[in-house]
Structure 1
Amino acid sequence: MRALRLHGDRDLRIDEIPAPPPPGAGEVQLRIHAIALNHIDVWGWRGMAFAKRELPICVGVEAAGEITAIGAGVTGWAVGDHVAPYGALTCGKCAACTSGRDNLCEDVSGIMGFHVDGFAREFCNVQARLMVRVPKSITWEDAACAAVTFSTVEHMLFDNARLQPGETILVHAAGSGIGTVAIRVAKAMGCIVIATAGSDEKCAQALALGADHAVNYSTKNFSSVARRVTGKRGVDVVFEHVGADTWGGSLLSLRMGGRLVTCGSTSGVSAETNLMMLFQRQLHIFGSFGAAMRNIADGLAKMEAGLLPVLDTVVPMDRFSEGLDRLETRRVFGKIIVTI
């Protein structure tokens, strides 16, 4: 079968490798139809692995596929079922896993596509307990955005920031995969959305997507706009994933008691924080990493109801590196999908 494997820094190749054996006990075999690209794919492509891994490694962290075979002891699944696999190899036994907080697992053995072989291959065997059912009305391309993109937004906005209908939210990097989803999700529940982006073109796209206001952060002070739009009160929630470049302004944009939720640091991992402002204004900062499996299911329910991801580009496997280059250089609005 064909597999897209990383052989070294920025060295991606389509290899012919043996197909997997029949699924073992507790496993299902998947035919992968589509994968969605994320910044973690770019990090891996650059050689930025945070743990030891052996090369070559099959890439692809977020995917959708169908079950083609079932191993012994697996119940509740059938050949032909559509699924979105959870990419973190959790233990399934610790207190976090057994209470439905999968992303807080105490003994994760790796992330597929980053530490161990991922989903950019025609077939793979995965533990059945890591499957989330995909309604068959959802396309493969949209379903591929469930396991990381939609679930990350669900976890950030609802588990952490506790976003409420009618609140005002500042969404950074409106052209990113999670930024576009956050705009759609927030607008669908009646929130006022202020979006930021690095170009006038992306600001126009954010407005077309449903944002009430859009700020080109390369030419305007977004915190000033946020305070003006809210009558100097400040926003209820900041959806942060840019990092150092926007951190200070994000805190300045918040109202008294406002909530900032962050899941990324693409512009740098260190930023100064005004501690006096933090405690005097009683701000809340939430770190958010990954998502629980139930967040994937919640995102898929929204897709089934018509709230779909924004797809920038759909490319075949042999153009995977083009997609990574577009993502790395930020020439993207929405998600890049690779069909297998």
Structure 2
Amino acid sequence: MRALRLHGDRDLRLDEVPEPPPPGPGEVQLRTLAVALNHIDVWGWRGMAFAQRKLPICTGAEAVCEVVSVGEGVSGWAPGDRVAPYGAQTCGHCRACREGRDNLCENVTGVMGFHLDGFARDRLNMAARLLVRVPEGVATDDAACASITFSTVEHMLFDNAKLEAGETILIQAAGSGIGTVAVKEAKALGCTVIATAGDDEKCDKARALGADHVINYSTQNFPTVARRLTGKRGVDVVFEHVGATTWAGSLLSLKMGGRLVTCGSTSGVSAETNLMMVFQRQLRIFGSFGASMRNVADGLAKMAGGMTPVLDTVVPLERFAEGLDRLESRRVFGKIVVTL
């Protein structure tokens, strides 16, 4: 079968590899239908990793799959069922896992596609407990964006920032995969959305997506504009995932007691922070990594209700590297999906 594997820094190859054995007890065998690209794929492509990994490694951290067969003791799943697999290999028995806080698993062995073989292959075996059912009516390409993209936004906005109707939120890089979902989620809740983007074309698209105000952060001072739009009060919440280049401005954009939630650092991992401003203005900063399986299910439920992801490009597996290059160069508005 085919497997897209990383052999070294930026060395992606479409390899022929053996098919997996029949699924073992508690496992299902999956056929990958589509993979959605994320910055974690770009990091892996560049040779970055948070822990040791063995190369070659199969890429793809977010996917939608179809059940092919089930192993002994598996109930509730049948061949043909579509699933959004949870990409972190959690233990399932620590306190965090038992309480449904999967992304805080104390014994996690890694993230698929980054530390462990991922989904960009024709078939794989996986623990049945790590699958979330895709509702009827949800398009396959859309469902590919559930297990990281939609779930990350769900976890950021509602588990961490506790976003409420009527609040004002500043969404950084609104043209990204999670940025576009955040705009839709916040507007659906009844919030005032101030979005930022790096060029006029993306600003126009963010406005068409429903943002109330859009700031081109390449040509405008976004914290100044954000404070002017809020009568110098500042925003209730900042949705941050850009990192060093926007960090200080994001904090300046907050009102007294405002909340900043961050899940990324694509422009750099280190940034200076004015600690006096943090404690004097009583700002709250939430780090948010990954999501729970509940977040994945909630995102899929919203897709079933009509809130679909913005798809920038859909390409076949053979053009996976083109998708990564487009994502890395920031030419993308929304998600890039790779079909198998």
Q: Please, what TM-score do these two structures have when normalized by structure 1?
A: 0.99
Match for residue 306 of structure 1?
306
Match for residue 30 of structure 2?
30
Give 3-state SS (helix, strand or coil) of 1:116's partner. coil
Give 3-state SS (helix, strand or coil) of 1:69's partner. strand
Give 3-state SS (helix, strand or coil) of 1:25's partner. coil
Long gaps (5+) in structure 2: none
Q: Is the 2:20–2:124 contact (alpha carbons within 8 Å) kept by the matching residues of 1?
A: yes
User: How far apart are 1:76 and its partner, in Å?
Assistant: 1.6
Amino acid at match of 2:301: A
User: How far apart are 1:16 and its partner, in Å?
Assistant: 1.1
Match for residue 158 of structure 2?
158
Residue 147 in structure 1 maps to residue 147 in structure 2 = yes
Long gaps (5+) in structure 1: none
Match for residue 110 of structure 2?
110
Partner Cα separation in structure 1 for residue 51 and residue 247 of structure 2 = 27
Residue by residue, what CA displacement relative to the aligned partner does 1:230-273 show, whole Å, maximum 9, x if unpaired? Answer: 11111000000011111111111011111000001111111111
Match for residue 217 of structure 2?
217
Residue by residue, what CA displacement relative to the aligned partner does 1:112-166 show, whole Å, maximum 9, x if unpaired? Answer: 1111111001111010000001012111110000000000000000000000011
Amino acid at match of 1:239: F
Match for residue 294 of structure 2?
294
Partner Cα separation in structure 2 for residue 266 and residue 11 of structure 1 = 21
Match for residue 56 of structure 2?
56
Give 3-state SS (helix, strand or coil) of 1:282's partner. coil
Amino acid at match of 2:23: P
Residue 171 in structure 1 maps to residue 190 in structure 2 = no
Residue by residue, what CA displacement relative to the aligned partner does 1:67-94 show, whole Å, maximum 9, x if unpaired? Answer: 1100001112122111000000001111
Match for residue 241 of structure 2?
241
Match for residue 14 of structure 1?
14
Match for residue 40 of structure 1?
40
Partner Cα separation in structure 1 for residue 51 and residue 272 of structure 2 = 28
Deviating beyond 2 angstroms after TM superposition, the runs of 4 or more aligned structure 1 residues are none
Partner Cα separation in structure 2 for residue 310 and residue 14 of structure 1 = 27
Q: Is the 2:153–2:178 contact (alpha carbons within 8 Å) kept by the matching residues of 1?
A: yes
Q: Is the 2:136–2:304 contact (alpha carbons within 8 Å) kept by the matching residues of 1?
A: no
Q: Is the 2:37–2:336 contact (alpha carbons within 8 Å) kept by the matching residues of 1?
A: yes
Partner Cα separation in structure 1 for residue 54 and residue 252 of structure 2 = 44
Partner Cα separation in structure 1 for residue 268 and residue 54 of structure 2 = 27
User: How far apart are 1:107 and its partner, in Å?
Assistant: 0.7
Match for residue 190 of structure 1?
190
Match for residue 332 of structure 1?
332
Partner Cα separation in structure 1 for residue 166 and residue 302 of structure 2 = 19
Partner Cα separation in structure 1 for residue 196 and residue 145 of structure 2 = 22
Partner Cα separation in structure 2 for residue 53 and residue 247 of structure 1 = 30
Match for residue 132 of structure 1?
132
Partner Cα separation in structure 1 for residue 288 and residue 97 of structure 2 = 17
Amino acid at match of 1:88: A
Amino acid at match of 2:65: G
Amino acid at match of 1:246: T
Give 3-state SS (helix, strand or coil) of 2:296's partner. helix
Give 3-state SS (helix, strand or coil) of 1:312's partner. strand
Amino acid at match of 2:118: G
Q: Please, what TM-score do these two structures have when normalized by structure 2?
A: 0.99
Give 3-state SS (helix, strand or coil) of 1:338's partner. strand
Task: Among all aligned residue pairs of Structure 1 and Structure 2, give the percentage whose two residues are the same amino acid.
Answer: 76
Partner Cα separation in structure 1 for residue 238 and residue 115 of structure 2 = 31
User: How far apart are 1:7 and its partner, in Å?
Assistant: 1.1
Match for residue 76 of structure 1?
76
Partner Cα separation in structure 1 for residue 316 and residue 13 of structure 2 = 13
Give 3-state SS (helix, strand or coil) of 1:225's partner. helix
Partner Cα separation in structure 1 for residue 8 and residue 273 of structure 2 = 37
Q: Is the 2:91–2:97 contact (alpha carbons within 8 Å) kept by the matching residues of 1?
A: yes
Match for residue 272 of structure 1?
272
Provide the aligned length of Structure 1 versus Structure 2.
340
